[in-house]
Structure 1
């Protein structure tokens, strides 16, 4: 297989949820993919092995996205194994809910370390390494617009993601690299389902005009567009939410 001409993507948080759907969608588009994991190496290896068995090309890289050394190593491993990097999709993130007045500041720091520092570290490495004609895609949330109670700390982290993403797009002027964010609405992933009762999930599933929860594949379609044909979209947040906001 010619790795010099094949486009290469690194997907952080690629072992489950939206990240897994993104990996599978990019592979379908002909990408070689580095599947990143933070804690679930087995899931990442299972996904990569299934891609390889089907004739695709995938490797596994690990590490804390907020750890600069770990991310340098992950980027270098991807470049060495696959020949370079054209697209970086940063789906890695955590969500802890609670009212601002009662929120545990330890949880705040933990979430912001992954969501803000992690996005910054990955974006920094991507800005240094992505080849011309490539794309950097981060993940925000539609709740920056819907402003649901209980999401204050999470939204604070994702508003920061949007801010740094849109500025990086302008800082990379002349590099032929697009930088965008995708902001999912309620999406049927373990991250979303955790801690929600059936009534809450049912209410949220009816919130969008299309009257269903998003599926990880829906978000992956938006990512694939930005990673491929959507070259004239740059410095934007794309709300992938079925019309919720």
Structure 2
């Protein structure tokens, strides 16, 4: 007798990597998303257990692919770096992305932002920050007693988890690393890199010139019958 073939009646749940929404609505919003995300990557470049992502779908509940959110930037401390199609929390040792950033665009609506705040509050985000580059408006929330609570004075705020400082100035938001260095755009970072390379090249050229002069001096002294080592 041939045993019957048993088939699973439970369909596999697919967790899509894309929700169909654009990463940004305009160049200003995109520039801020990239600047914050990449500067955080640089900040934690030497730490293999800090995962930073931009516009990555986060699924907090296994078995439900409709509960999801794609923060503009998120930081998961305690999770390894590496590529992911989405952040499926049950595959990440249950680690909640602790810090989330949203950069507003003219298309964002109050109801949408309230929904996002409720999502991040419900699913355990520790620090949540919103910046509106058009209105130069910055707001933040910090988890206190199990609930995201509004930061009363976010204009000069130090992130407890990241150690970065936010300064809201009349013209823009400035973000500073723990060492006091400002977050920079790709263009500014490249200018600094080239300036550093130029300084290194100049120092190397000076060292070469000094070495050549020392060699010439040695030759001159030897021609005069003087042992340079005796000087």
TM-score, reference length from structure 2: 0.31
More helix by share: 1
> Who wins on radius of gyration, i.e. which is larger?
2
More strand by share: 2
**Using CA pairs below 8 Å that are at least 6 residues apart, which structure has the higher relative contact order?**
1
